[in-house]
Amino acid sequence: MKFVSSRDVRNNPSEFREVVEREDVVLTVGGKPFAIAVGVDENDIEETLDVLRRLRALRAMARMQHRAEERGLTGMPGEEVDEEIREARRSRRIG
């Protein structure tokens, strides 16, 4: 995995393409990561996006489970879970 600045991508797009064809790249702005570039074949775009979306969903689920454990909300009965969801939705509408 290589780190490449957005400035390098802008200044040397053909070199960036060559790097992405060989390995995954972390794009940075001001030295901070903001995206990951993964080489794809035009026939694999939808499949690759599907896999990335699934991984993003799994990561979100893991974060939610971790927060639930921190708050002592694991093992709650379904009614309490439903009430937590209703309360979260109410607070979003008000706030």
Alpha-carbon distance of 93 to 16, in angstroms, equals: 44
pLDDT in tens, 56-93: 999 998 998 898 888 887 877 888 888 888 988 888 87
One domain, residues 32 and 57: no
Instruction: Say which residue the tokens 């921190």 belong to.
Output: 70
One domain, residues 33 and 50: no
Q: Give the structural domain span for 59.
A: 45-94
One domain, residues 52 and 23: no
One domain, residues 50 and 89: yes
One domain, residues 10 and 51: no
List Cβ<8 Å contacts ≥24 apart for 70-79.
none
Domain count, the chain: 2
One domain, residues 75 and 52: yes
How much of the chain, in percent, has pLDDT values that exceed 70? 98
pLDDT at 76: 77
CATH code assigned at 28? 3.40.1620
Q: pTM of the full predicted structure? A: 0.62
- β-partners of residue 5 are 28
pLDDT at 8: 95
